Amino acid sequence: MPTQPLSQKEIEDRLRELPGWSVDSDRLTRGYRLADHFAATAFVVHIAQIQQELDHHSDLTLGYNSVTLAVNTHSAGGALTEKDFELAERVDAVAPGHGAN
């Protein structure tokens, strides 16, 4: 079953549930600050595990102590879908200092 794009209202409603996330260039994005490079790299590994479980992959940018995600659904023509928000929720849940670790 194809993933359906969310309407602008649905996106705005979902964003209210996800503090720190925003839409930039049609992608759901968020940056995280971590203690150091090791913590940032470990966080990227957690994100990769979540992406594999969901079969949904984002663009990741790793800095010394930062990680930035940008995601949309390619199979929906680059639109935002519920899959993007599910990924965001799962990443927030394992983010150091942001969710339940």
**Tens digits of residue pLDDT in 25-80:** 999 999 999 999 999 999 999 999 999 999 999 999 999 999 999 999 999 999 99
Tokens 């199979």 identify what position? 75
pLDDT at residue number 100: 42
- Burial degree of 32 (CB within 10 A; 0-12, 13-18, 19+): buried
Sign of CA dihedral 90, 94, 99, 100: positive
pLDDT at residue number 97: 80
Q: Is the pLDDT of residue 101 over 50?
A: no
Q: How far apart are CA 29 and CA 56, in angstroms?
A: 15
pLDDT at residue number 18: 96
3-state secondary structure of 28: strand
Per-domain residue ranges of the chain: 41-56+87-96
Which of the four pLDDT bands, split at 50, 70 and 90, describes residue 3?
A: confident
pLDDT at residue number 37: 97
Strand order across the 22-24 sheet: 22-24, 27-33, 66-71, 59-62
